[in-house]
Amino acid sequence: MPPAVEQAMISKTLRELFLAANRVLVLTGAGVSAESGVPTFRGGGQSAVWKGLPFEVISSAAMLERDLPAVWEWFNYRRNLLVQLRPNAAHTTIASWQDRFSDLSLVTQNIDGLHQAAGSRDVIELHGNVWRARCFDCDARYSLDDLSRDEAVPSCFDCGGNLRPDVVLFGEMLPPGAFERAADAAQRCELCFIVGTSAVVYPAASIPEIARGNGAYLVEVNPERTQLSDLCDEVLMGKAGEVLPLLRR
């Protein structure tokens, strides 16, 4: 892309706000991870993704109760797909913003841990993390690196109870405190980036609304317009890994 075109993508207003801002919120979704090769599994039409089961079934709270070993098998399969993947330029650019802004809040709907792999700290994970497990009984949490992979269902070291993937499944609430932290950051931010997500499913959809209601400048970064676009002050159409690095200049 010629430099003149690159510069034209970012408005003068956004460049000035980016240079002057102290409190910045970034909300990311599946589009950011997809650029690293992370499958979304959301083909629509109840298409089967795992042993004849649709994504909304195998990744549901009902399946957790009905067949916990199958849920573990499914998430083990997903982790095997993720283990070779690496953060892309969007992940690394957002991580670099931690040293640029005095108050950067990163809120993600992704569960793949790629933001942390890129160096982001204190990530607010709305939907949990595929690399963690938690206990049904005592709520203890573990990195999967610390657990035996020989068991169909790993056991809690503290109480001996069954562990489950530490992710939010269909039919479950968000982790305690996650949305509250995100909403607080949205109330305080001056500049809000919505990256790789349409952010139309609540409660995540309310985060840009809260930011806008408190005077923040909203910027959407997505390959195409979404239902959120009309709410935003600026829409940067393109892949996050190509668009976000332009703001370094």
Which residues are known catalytic residues? 127
Per DSSP, the residues of 46-58 read T-EEETTEEHHHH
User: CA-CA distance, 55 to 247, in Å (whole number)?
Assistant: 36
User: CA-CA distance, 117 to 234, in Å (whole number)?
Assistant: 29
Helix (H), strand (E) at residue 129 = strand 128-135
Gyration radius from the chain CA atoms? 19
| Helix residue ranges per DSSP H, the chain | 3-9, 12-20, 30-34, 55-58, 61-66, 68-82, 89-96, 114-117, 178-188, 206-213, 240-243
User: CA-CA distance, 158 to 164, in Å (whole number)?
Assistant: 14
* Of 29, 10, 190, 217, residue with least CA distance to 101: 190
Given a contact cutoff of 8 angstroms between Cβ atoms, the answer to whether 90 and 117 are in contact is: no
Side-chain-facing half-sphere of 4: CA atoms under 13 Å: 0
Given a contact cutoff of 8 angstroms between Cβ atoms, the answer to whether 144 and 126 are in contact is: no
Helix, strand, or coil (residue 224): coil
